Amino acid sequence: MEKTMPRKERAAFVLETLENLYPTVPIPLDHKDPYTLLIAVLLSAQCTDERVNKVTPYLFAIADNPHDMSKVAVEKIQEIIRPCGLSPKKSKAISELSKILIDQHEGIVPQSFEALEALPGVGHKTASVVMSQAFGVPAFPIDTHIHRLAFRWCLSTGKNVEKTEFDLKKLFPIESWNRLHLQIIFFGREYCPARGHIPSVCPICSKIGRKELFT
């Protein structure tokens, strides 16, 4: 039976491969500032980035800051964001968090995990994306692509997203986190999908271990 690389060697190979394939990584969600990024990330839950990017121009045309958004009826927000799914819950969260930003943070998106995660509709993953992409704070947001590939590449046990985040933060240098989580997402979409994946032609799976681990 073919042996797998040690975990640290696999991690180093993954990092090198992704740096070569994606030397620059654009932020997938269209936004202009921390607030519009926060709203876009909130909308992306169980929704594709592509669909979010089609919806947010309509939403931000009527309100692209907490002060304006707090004045928009929840029903109006829900009507606009309906294509993103979970619109009743998301519209209420957008309205409430906008009011909290005004009341507690002077209308500014806070630059701390604790404050962000205290906002309605904002979990650890959403907070991590905002801290990473809006403020440049090292974070490793774990989405479904990253969770799946960390397990597929034997970098984490894959028991839950918390464990995956812990394992990846231990394996990769902190200065790589903000780029790497995006690189993994792009790679998963292009080369390493959940379905129809062919390990023998995948630039990573074909190199780092037994093929039966990557089904």
Instruction: Kindly list the catalytic residues.
Output: 125, 143
Contact between 111 and 131 under an 8 Å Cβ cutoff? The reply is: yes
- Cβ-defined contacts of 103-109 (< 8 Å, 24+): 107/65, 107/66, 107/67, 108/34, 109/34, 109/35, 109/38, 109/134
Contact between 122 and 92 under an 8 Å Cβ cutoff? The reply is: no
Tokens 């701390």, residue located: 112
User: What span, in angstroms and rounded, lies between the C-alpha atoms of 200 and 186?
Assistant: 19
Pull the structure tokens for residue 180.
């790497």
Q: Output phi, psi for 26, to 5 deg.
A: -70, 150
SS3 category, 108: coil
CA distances from 88 to 1, 6, 31, 52, 127 (A): 52, 46, 22, 16, 21
Burial of 12 (0-12, 13-18, 19+ CB in 10 A): middle
Of the candidates 89, 88, 29, the residue with the CA atom closest to the CA atom of residue 60: 29
